[in-house]
Amino acid sequence: MWINIVSAKELIVGESGEFRTIRSAIESARDGDRIIVKSGIYREGALEITRAITLTGENGAVLDGENKFQILTVKASGVTVNNLTFENVGVSYVQDNAAIKLIESDNSNIIDNRFRNAFFGIYLSKSGFCTIRGNDLVAAAEKEASSGNGIHLWNCHDITIENNSIQRHRDGIYFEFVKRSTITGNHSIGNLRYGLHFMFSDTCVYKNNLFKGNSAGVAVMYTKNITMQGNRFEDNWGAASYGILLKDITGSEITGNTFMNNTVGIHAEGTSRNRISDNEFLNNGWAVRIMANSTDNVFSQNNFIGNAFDVATNSRQNYNVFDSNYWSAYEGYDLNRDGVGDVPFRPVRLFSLLIEQYPTALILLRSFLIDVIDAAESVIPALTPETLTDANPRMRRLP
């Protein structure tokens, strides 16, 4: 390694440089070399890196795939690609063409690049200990079946994805068979399907991200030990949209997040032993929809404010805990002034059960008749889950 460092050199690509093409510079480079790409548009088909080099661009350096090619394939470890613009990746449903594809690469970095009109943007396969940071990805996806993902990981581990902006792809970020990875500070906006999509990816963390205006914010499926902290889920609005979809999730934490203006804040199916605390649920259609096959989840210290429905379920049975939350719909009293309501709060409205059976009944949401039915059910519950109550509702919004 010491010999490589002291002998490393810079290779300049451009009209005034030593090399006229990026391809010729890559072919001449050795481990540790740094290739500097001058401003200009480079149309060189599919490029491949097989050595531990740095490929960096000056402002205005563009690699154009001409809507035909995957632009850059990395088959080495210790590669860095930064400050380049990639555009017009060729569409291939067989090859999953990407602007940058890392294959069996460790300790590589993709930093501060721009991606325009890419099928897949950044694609990692069987890679580990890589960093994807500060990239700006904008596609023009119109249909799920004919579009790729912004940042796509398959069978990877120990990857850091931070401070990227991803817009108008199929999924903003996609994880499948990924372990011990972190997603921090990203903005995933306006994607056709999910802002973030987890499949079979255990022991990962995502925190302080923004998921806004996607068909659905985040889907976490068939996974365990996930930490979801400090994220914002906003304006994920539509017939089948939600902030988070949880499906077959265990042993995870959802803390300190904000769910605002989503059709559903959290939709949970087959989830168990998760802790949901210190979150804000603001102005959603449904704050929480939790199906009967979800058990042993604990909802505590959350704020439920201005939602059409705070909690909905499809069963009279309840195997979860709701305790010490603030509910803006609570109309109880606090005679001893300890900050805790003296009568339990029942967050499930009878009307929400009716909607589960008859969705078109939603048109009656604001009617006086429904208010009367809900009031009667809250006094003498006959159909809503008897055990789904918050015995210690907070009188004031939790900090």
Q: How far apart are CA 354 and CA 332, in angstroms?
A: 25
pLDDT at 238: 81
Question: The tokens of 397 are what?
Answer: 């919004």
Percent of the chain with pLDDT over 70: 90
On whether the CB atoms of residues 39 and 15 are closer than 8 A, the answer is no
Which amino acid type is present at position 236?
N
Q: How far separated are the first and last CA of the chain, in Å rounded?
A: 53
CA-to-CA separations, 183 to 150, 207, 220, 246, in angstroms, rounded? 14, 6, 14, 18
On whether the CB atoms of residues 390 and 358 are closer than 8 A, the answer is no
Spatial neighbors of 48 by CB under 8 A, at least 6 apart, are 26, 72, 73, 74, 75
Q: How far apart are CA 321 and CA 330, in angstroms?
A: 18
Question: The tokens of 364 are what?
Answer: 């009656």
Q: How far apart are CA 383 and CA 218, in angstroms?
A: 32
pLDDT at 2: 44
Q: If you ran DSSP here, which 8-state letter would residue 145 be given?
A: G
Quote the pTM value. 0.90
The pLDDT tens digits along the chain (399 residues) read 444 555 789 999 999 889 999 999 999 999 999 999 999 999 999 999 999 999 999 999 999 999 999 999 999 999 999 999 999 999 888 889 999 999 999 999 999 999 999 999 999 999 999 999 999 999 987 777 778 999 999 999 999 999 999 999 999 999 999 999 999 999 999 999 999 999 999 999 999 999 999 988 999 999 999 999 999 999 998 877 899 999 999 999 999 999 999 999 999 999 999 999 999 999 999 999 999 899 999 999 999 999 999 998 887 788 999 999 999 999 899 999 999 999 999 888 766 666 677 666 666 666 666 666 666 666 666 566 777 899 999 999 998
Gyration radius of the chain's alpha carbons: 25
- Rounded to the nearest integer, the mean pLDDT of the chain is 91
pLDDT at 379: 60
Q: If you ran DSSP here, which 8-state letter would residue 390 be given?
A: B
Is residue 361 helix, strand or coil? Answer: helix
On whether the CB atoms of residues 190 and 167 are closer than 8 A, the answer is yes
Q: How far apart are CA 228 and CA 195, in angstroms?
A: 14
How does pLDDT run across 31-50, given as a tens digit for each residue?
999 999 999 999 999 999 99
Q: Which residues pair with 175 in a beta bridge?
A: 153, 198
pLDDT at 384: 66
How does pLDDT run across 181-191, given as a tens digit for each residue?
999 999 999 99
